[in-house]
Amino acid sequence: MVREIIQAVTSLDILLSPGEVVRLTPNELHFSNPAAYNDIYNHKNKWDKDHLLYGAFDQDTSSFGSIHYSDAKQRRDMIAPFLSRASILRMQDVIQERVNVLCDALARQFAAGDTKGKSSNLMLGFHCFGVDVIMAFCYAKNWDATKVPDFQSDIVLASKVAIRVITIRKYSRTLVKVMRHIPVWFGKNFGTPMTKAMFLFQAALMDQIDEILRNPASLENAPHKIIYHSLLDPDANKGRPLPSRLSLWHEAQALFGAGSDTIAVAATTASYHILHNPEIQQRLVNELRTAWPDLEEVPRYEVLEKLPYLTAVVKEGIRLFPGGAALPRVVPPEGATIAGTFVPGGTVVAQWFLYVLRSPTVFPDPDAFIPERWLGEDAKALEASLVSFSKGPRSCIGMNLAYCNMYLVIANIFRRFDATLDAERSGDLSVVEHFEPVFKGPHLHAYCKPVSD
Ligand code: HEM
């Protein structure tokens, strides 16, 4: 019952018909006309985020959780160089190392089966990979979620519960406050294995922050630049006081949350469609084998991102991102016109990105996985409608890292393995909407048989 109510509240957008505007709460409007997207999420609109949803995360002083544009901008300016394309190119080996660990795990799992091999839970594998990349890239920590047998990592399983709780916290500030005041020692020792895992993880992030605040020189021992080099750089802070311990912790959690599950959903979506379409898989494998003839000589990201078909597959996977929240914004006092309708100041407005990403007028045959749409003459124009990372001043700041993860993980899986769908253990891509989409049915499973050349 509770599940149905939550689903009804969070998936109401699905019910909208074309051109409709729906009042979700007394002060919140949702639009279905794809033209509304650009009216809400564009570079000129420095609108606040809605505190009802974003307050539920209790990360108010992070880039993601800041309600006001000005606060978010200060923080984004500090983080942007760390997540820039140049930085990703420089540190791509950190990501490739995590891909290698994922591939080793897939090969081990396959070998554990009988003659047919054993299939792997790709969804959990990609989620573990996402966690390991964020931990390695941002914090220089080897969390090694990917090494846990069958990808049953506590923190990954706990994240899936936590995102469901966000939906409840959205409607209960009391719950947010109660959870904020649960002491870490209590959370680490009592409760379910899931809650314990979450507290342990949060404590690990805090311990690193404490260590660095106690001894800032320890940053120099990091094997590569980490996020705290940027956040604690006096120049990047432009004379303002350095971020507090709490703010650093908010940021650490925000980057972890924003950067791990999202990549799992995108990589699962792409793999699901590749594995269901033998012709697409064959064309992808052919391109990869030509560009990557010797298995031992793994190509750099700069090479992979120039491959047209791989690029088209990655983009189509990101376009078909199966869900996620409509991102609510507050209309400024002077009001605004959205899809031809005047909306007074103070109103909360949102559009679910699937109204653009699955619009038949923007992407013909929108539910089909058609990499070719990114290879034609119209491809450049379509880019403007690829809104999976949102648009405007609060759009995704981790896009470069997300793309690098996607290229590396898809290229490595489909070049190093003869991958086939395990239809018996796999469901479809239908999701329950929380802030991030949560797959309803059995996760995507595939037999990943290593190739020898
Ligand atoms: C395929 C993967 C990803 C997708 C589809 C995605 C999508 C998005 C979207 C739609 C937003 C806007 C959220 C909002 O308005 O509240 C966002 C924001 C954000 N993303 Fe991503 N993201 C991905 C990967 C990443 C990665 C790898 C990172 C890096 C750590 C990251 C960090 C962030 C941050 C910090 C924000 C908040 C920006 C702000 O509010 O100003 N994301 N992302």
437-439 and 48-49 strand pairing: unpaired
Cβ atoms of residues 37 and 351 within 8 Å: yes
pLDDT at 361: 92
Angle at 320 between CA 316 and CA 321, to 5 degrees: 120
Please report the atom of ligand 1 found closest to the CA of residue 388.
5
> Which DSSP helix (H) or strand (E) runs through 393?
none
pLDDT at 5: 41
417-421 and 445-450 strand pairing: antiparallel
Rounded CA gap, 73 and 87, in Å?
A: 20
321 Cβ inside 6 Å of ligand 1: yes
pLDDT at 20: 82
Percent pLDDT > 90 in the chain is 79
417-421 and 21-25 strand pairing: unpaired
Among residues 163, 137, 396, 330, the alpha carbon closest in space to that of 257 is found at: 163
pLDDT at 6: 40
pLDDT at 16: 61
- CA 282 to chain centroid, in Å, comes to 27
What is the Rg, in whole angstroms, of the alpha carbon atoms belonging to the chain?
Answer: 22
CB-count burial class (<10 Å; 0-12, 13-18, 19+) for 161:
middle
Residue 397 main-chain phi, psi, to 5 deg: -90, -10
pLDDT at 15: 52
Tell me how far CA of residue 402 lies from CA of 225, 284, 406, 407, 434, in angstroms. Answer: 18, 20, 6, 9, 21
pLDDT at 168: 82
64 Cβ inside 6 Å of ligand 1: yes
254 Cβ inside 6 Å of ligand 1: yes
Indicate the Cα dihedral angle 237, 242, 243, 249, nearest 10°: 110
317 Cβ inside 6 Å of ligand 1: no
In 3-state terms, what secondary structure has residue 65?
coil
pLDDT at 453: 93
| Span from the CA of 449 to the centroid of ligand 1 (angstroms) | 33
pLDDT at 166: 81
Per-residue pLDDT of the chain (453 residues; tens, 9 = 90+): 334 344 444 444 445 666 688 888 889 999 999 999 999 999 999 999 999 999 999 999 999 999 999 999 999 999 999 999 999 999 999 999 999 999 999 999 999 998 889 999 999 999 999 999 999 999 999 999 999 999 999 999 988 888 888 878 888 888 888 888 888 788 888 888 888 888 889 999 999 999 999 999 999 999 999 999 999 999 999 999 999 999 999 999 999 999 999 999 999 999 999 999 999 999 999 999 999 999 999 999 999 999 999 999 999 999 999 888 899 999 999 999 999 999 999 999 999 999 999 999 999 999 999 999 999 988 989 999 999 999 999 999 999 999 999 999 999 999 999 999 999 999 999 988 888 898 988 999 999 999 999
In 3-state terms, what secondary structure has residue 347?
coil
Please report the atom of ligand 1 found closest to the CA of residue 401.
27
| Span from the CA of 111 to the centroid of ligand 1 (angstroms) | 36
325 Cβ inside 6 Å of ligand 1: no
Q: Which amino acid is it at 140?
A: A
Q: Binding site, residues?
A: 396
CB-count burial class (<10 Å; 0-12, 13-18, 19+) for 8:
exposed
329 Cβ inside 6 Å of ligand 1: no
Cβ atoms of residues 75 and 62 within 8 Å: yes
In 3-state terms, what secondary structure has residue 452?
coil
Which residues are registered as beta bridge partners of 330?
A: 48, 348
pLDDT at 318: 98
Rounded CA gap, 373 and 312, in Å?
A: 8
> Which DSSP helix (H) or strand (E) runs through 420?
strand 417-421
Q: Determine the angle formed by the axes of helices 122-139 and 399-416, rounding to 10 degrees.
A: 130
pLDDT per residue as tens digits for the range 423-452:
999 999 998 888 889 898 899 999 999 999
pLDDT at 389: 97
pLDDT at 371: 98
| Span from the CA of 61 to the centroid of ligand 1 (angstroms) | 16
pLDDT per residue as tens digits for the range 187-246:
888 888 888 888 889 999 999 999 999 999 999 999 999 999 999 999 999 999 999 999
pLDDT at 210: 97
pLDDT at 96: 98
pLDDT per residue as tens digits for the range 300-316:
999 999 999 999 999 99
Among residues 13, 211, 68, 229, the alpha carbon closest in space to that of 137 is found at: 229
pLDDT at 164: 80
**What is the 3-class SS of 252-307, one letter each residue?**
HHHHHHHHHHHHHHHHHHHHHHHHHCHHHHHHHHHHHHHHCCCCCCCCCHHHHCCC
Using CA positions, which residue lies closest to atom 27 of ligand 1?
A: 259
Cβ atoms of residues 378 and 372 within 8 Å: no
